[in-house]
Structure 1
Amino acid sequence: MKTKQIIYLLFIITGALLMGFGPVYVEKEYALALGIIILMFGVYKASTSWTLKDQEIKEENHEL
């Protein structure tokens, strides 16, 4: 697993944990808002890296 994928996975996990346990430390609305932002950022970046990898594989197959 590449380093970027691990970082994106950590963003997803951090966002989910913040949404779950954040209200203990800060107000519920702030924890949910920040958690969903971090979670969605991780999901977006992970999905764009997967599509780029798929495009590279398809291009390699067409070159052969």
Structure 2
Amino acid sequence: MKTKRSIYFLLIVIGAAIMGIGDYWITKEYALSIGIVLLMFGIYKTSQLWNKEE
């Protein structure tokens, strides 16, 4: 269970990093799109873990 949390946390961090500095590697629109998808997926899966604990 702890590994899932760390993976989802990494998704959130990577998504935020891609949104912030991804325009140096790829087009800004693509960086924002990929970053927001990773960020929202990480947040969604993390919130699903919180609901299972209760």
Which TM-score bucket, shorter chain as reference?
over 0.9
Q: Which has the higher contact order (CA 8 A, sep 6+)?
A: 2
Corresponding position of 1:19: 19
For residue 21 of structure 2, what is the amino acid of its counterpart? F
The TM-score, its normalising length taken from structure 1, stands at 0.82
For residue 21 of structure 1, what is the amino acid of its counterpart? I
Gaps of at least 5 residues in structure 1 are 55-64
Aligned residue pairs total: 54
Corresponding position of 1:34: 34
Larger Rg: 1
Corresponding position of 1:6: 6
The TM-score, its normalising length taken from structure 2, stands at 0.96
> Cα RMSD (Å) of the superposition?
1.0
Identity %, equivalent residues: 52
Runs of 4+ in 1 over 2 A off after TM superposition: none
